[in-house]
Amino acid sequence: MDKKNYKYIYGPVPSWRLGSSLGIDPLSVKDKVCPFDCVYCQIGKTKCLTDKRKIFVKTEDIITEFKSLPPLEIDYITFSGTGEPTLAKNLGEMIKEIKKIKKQDTKIAVLTNSALLNDKTVREDLFSADFVAAKLDAVQDDIFQAVNKPMKNLKLETIIKTIKKFKNDYNGNSLCKLCLCRTIKNTRKNSDARRAKLFRMKFSLTLRFARKELNR
Ligand code: SF4
């Protein structure tokens, strides 16, 4: 696939979890938009910290681009990209429209940081996907603040509660992504060894607790 011709679609990329995954970026912005500013973010610092949903790309523009793709062998179409995909107010509409034209055996996934799951419209949008990976990096507020650097109004307790709610209400496959261990190590590599050790200990406890907490 020639990248130059596509503004909103990228890949396909191999994913250990999803197989061959074609990415759709429902934000497609120059500067990342996200309610978090994670220390490990591959896109860099969040300049636009927001939890307000809006339309970034018209659904019809995504559909037009999707229809122009060459024939591809893919397992998943994954909504992800330059920030938090659930910020796109038309995410649910995009998923539904893509479903009408995709190959029958190709599934749809969304990768989310879980920050907006408290919003009923976000949960409803995600119900249309076949697979949702909801991220949770910490269940202790100090770690959450240090690693995800969230907007002030976002409360970890609410996020955990709504991940659980979503998990119970959702018919598709969901996965709570816990992905921090190496990050803590890396971000702490310049701080003194004692502090880093403390953080790692705290994190492994966090992981165990998170699994327990979410399986309740
Ligand atoms: S949630 Fe994702 S996009 Fe947002 S800052 Fe963190 S890693 Fe980057």
- The model's pLDDT over 48-57, given as tens digits with 9 standing for 90+, comes to 999 999 999 9
pTM, entire model: 0.84
Q: Is residue 208 part of a domain?
A: no
pLDDT at 19 over 90: yes
The answer, yes or no, to whether any atom of ligand 1 lies below 6 A from the CB of 12, is: no
Q: 123 and 117 in contact (C-beta within 8 Å)?
A: yes
- List all residues 6 or more positions away from 32 whose beta carbon is below 8 Å from its beta carbon: 41, 43, 44, 46, 47, 48, 82, 83
Range of the structural domain that residue 80 is part of: 3-179
Look up the CATH number of the domain holding residue 172: 3.20.20.70
- The model's pLDDT over 123-133, given as tens digits with 9 standing for 90+, comes to 999 999 999 99
Q: Is residue 202 part of a domain?
A: no
Residue 138 banded pLDDT, cuts 50, 70, 90: confident
**Atom number in ligand 1 closest to CA 34:** 4
How many domains are there within the chain? 1
Q: Is residue 151 part of a domain?
A: yes
**Helix, strand and coil in the chain, % to nearest 5:** 40, 20, 40
Which of 25, 32, 41, 78 should be mutated for ligand 1, with most atoms under 8 A from CB? 41
